[in-house]
Amino acid sequence: MTASLAEPDYVGDLGNGLVCRWSTAADQPKIAQCMGKIYRNTPEEAYHPRAMDIARVLMAGDFPYMGPDDFALVEDTTVPGSPVVAYTCLWRLRWRYDDIPFGVGQPEMVATDAAYRNRGLVRALFAMVHARSEAEGHLVQAITGIPY
């Protein structure tokens, strides 16, 4: 039986050695490495240390909106170490409308390594996030965006 997109043990074959799945705590160094690579200003710069620290904070287990198993990620299994090449994570929020609280799922930290863009990886990751958010009963999914 195949796991659904929302389940922690889901693994999806995207072809060419690319696999999408949910993170575990053991993935934190690979996610941090990918974040550090993507969020630097130029390819010549060292990996961005603050971005790498953000991955550690988000996956520490005590972040209020998510846990270490809430990154949807893509890894390249054809490269030694199977590096993470794309990711997003699901934050769980409570909003209120007219004094009525409801659950909200928010995709955050959406990124793809430049060498892997235009392959539909974020589409696959968003399908996972949407499925998990729906399975958890969120009435709304929201993207707040970048303020510039």
pLDDT at 1: 46
- As a whole number of angstroms, the longest Cα–Cα distance in the chain is 52
Backbone torsion region of residue 137, taken as left when φ is above 0, otherwise alpha when ψ lies between -120 and 50, otherwise beta? left
d(CA 117, CA 69): 24
pLDDT at 146: 75
Its pTM stands at 0.93
If one compares 3 and 109, the residue with the highest pLDDT of the two is 109
State the average pLDDT over residues 101-110. 97
Q: In the predicted model, what is the mean pLDDT of the chain?
A: 96
SS3 (DSSP) at 35: helix
The contacts of residue 45 (CB under 8 Å, 6+ apart) are none
92 pLDDT tier (thresholds 50, 70, 90): very high
SS3 (DSSP) at 54: helix
Measured between its terminal Cα atoms, the distance across the chain in Å is 45
Q: Which domains does the chain have, with CATH numbers?
A: 11-141 (3.40.630.30)
State the average pLDDT over residues 119-147. 94
**Which tens digits make up the pLDDT trace of 108-130?**
999 999 999 999 999 999 999 99
pLDDT reading at 60 higher than 50: yes
